[in-house]
Amino acid sequence: MLNGLFDIYNRLEYLTENGDILPNLKRLVPWEDFRGELEVIYDHERKSNAGRRPFDVVMMFKILILQSLYNLSDDEMEYQIMDRLSFMRFLGLDLDSRVPDAKTIWLFRSKLEEHKLTRKLFDKFNAFLAESGFVARKGQIVDATIVRVPTQRNTREENEAIKAGNPPVENWSDAKKCQKDTDARWTQKRGKNYFGYKNHIEVDVQHKIIRDYKITDAAVHDSKVFEDILDEKNTSRDVYADSAYRSTEHEADLKQRKFRPHLQRKGCKGHQLTSREKRGNLTRARIRSRIEHVFGAIHQRAGDVILRTIGISMAEVKLGLRNIAYNMDRFCTLMLQNA
C-alpha cells in the first residue's frame, strides 16, 4: 500500500492532540542558548577532513534530555529514535536522517563529565528561567531521594577496604574494575536497605522548580548538605524540610543567616508530640509536601530509576541531566498554565 502525502503529518497531529509533550518542549526551551557551552566538546583540531562530521551538539543534548525524561538506556534510546515519530520530530530528523548509535550517545555523555558541563547547563537554564519571570518565590523546600545502582557482589574484606577508601583495585582485572562502583554506599530507609546515591534538591515553593542540587553517596545523611544548597536569592526567607533536617544547631545557623526555619518535628518513645506540635507539623506539611510533587513527577514519567553508570562523577552527570529535564518539563507546564 502506498503512503499518502499527508499520512505522517496526520499521525504527528494525532500525537500532539493526545498529549505529546515534546512539541512544547521543542518550541519553548531555548535550545540554541546551550550551544556555546556544548561546543567545547568538539573544540579540537581535526586531523583530516576524512570521515563523517560529528552530530550537532544541540541535537545530542536534546537526546540526553529525552533519555532522562523517559529513563532509557543508550541502546533503547537509539532504537526509540529510529522507531518513534515523536522523537524524530523533536530532534528535527527525517526518516532518512542519520541517527546516533548507542556508543555515540554514551561518548557524548562522557564528554559532559570530562568537561564538567552538567552544572553549567543546569545554571544556564535556571538563569533563563529567572529572566523569563520564574524567579524563586515564597520560600524553599529541601529534600533528598535515593537513587539505586546495581548491587555490588563484594567479599567482606573488599567491602571493608572500599569503606576505608582503599578499594583493592590491584587485585581486580580490568574487566572487573569497569563493573565495580566503589563510590556508592548502603543506607536504610523505613527498614529497607538501598545501595546507591542521593539526589539532594532545593525547590522554590511557588513554582516547584529545582533551584540547586547536590549528589552524594546514599550513606550521607540528608542534613549534611542541607545548608549547602539553600538559595539566598529566594524572595522569602522561609525554609521547609522534614524532621531529618531538624536540630538545634541547624535552627541556630538558619536564624543566623536570617532564614525562618519551618522544620518538621518528630516524636520519640520518651517524648511524644503535643497537640500544638502536631498542628504545627500539619501546617508545615501542606507546603513541604510540594517537593514530593517534584519527585512524583520525575518518577511518573521515568519510573523507578536504577542508575547503570559507574562512579559518582557519572552519577552527577545522569542525575544532573534528570534535574535539568525536570525543570524544562516544569517550565513548559508553567508556560501553558499562564497562557
- What is the per-residue pLDDT for 47? 58
CATH number of the 136-149+185-313 domain: 3.30.420
* Largest distance between two CA atoms of the chain: 77
Cα dihedral sign for 255, 257, 258, 261? negative
Residue 148 phi, psi (nearest 5): -80, 155
Q: What is the pLDDT confidence band of residue 51, given thresholds at 50, 70 and 90?
A: low
Question: Taking the mean position of all CA atoms in its chain, how far away is CA 148?
Answer: 14
212 neighbors 232 (Cβ within 8 angstroms): no
Q: Are strands 185-189 and 260-263 parallel, antiparallel or unpaired?
A: unpaired
Q: What is the pLDDT confidence band of residue 4, given thresholds at 50, 70 and 90?
A: low
Least confident of 84-88, 155-159, 220-224: 155-159
pLDDT greater than 60 at residue 19: yes
Instruction: Quote the CA–CA distance of 1 and 239 in Å, as a whole number.
Output: 62
- What is the per-residue pLDDT for 181? 84
Nearest CA to 61 out of 83, 82, 79, 36 is that of 36
Three-class secondary structure of residue 201 per DSSP:
strand
- What is the per-residue pLDDT for 5? 54
- pLDDT tens digits, 234-260: 999 999 999 889 888 888 999 999 999
239 neighbors 283 (Cβ within 8 angstroms): no
Q: What is the mean pLDDT of the chain?
A: 88
C-alpha angle 73-74-76 in degrees, rounded to nearest 5? 65
- State the pTM of this model: 0.90
Where in the chain are the domains? 7-115, 136-149+185-313, 154-183
CB-CB neighbours of 80 under 10 Å: 17
Amino acid, res. 83: D
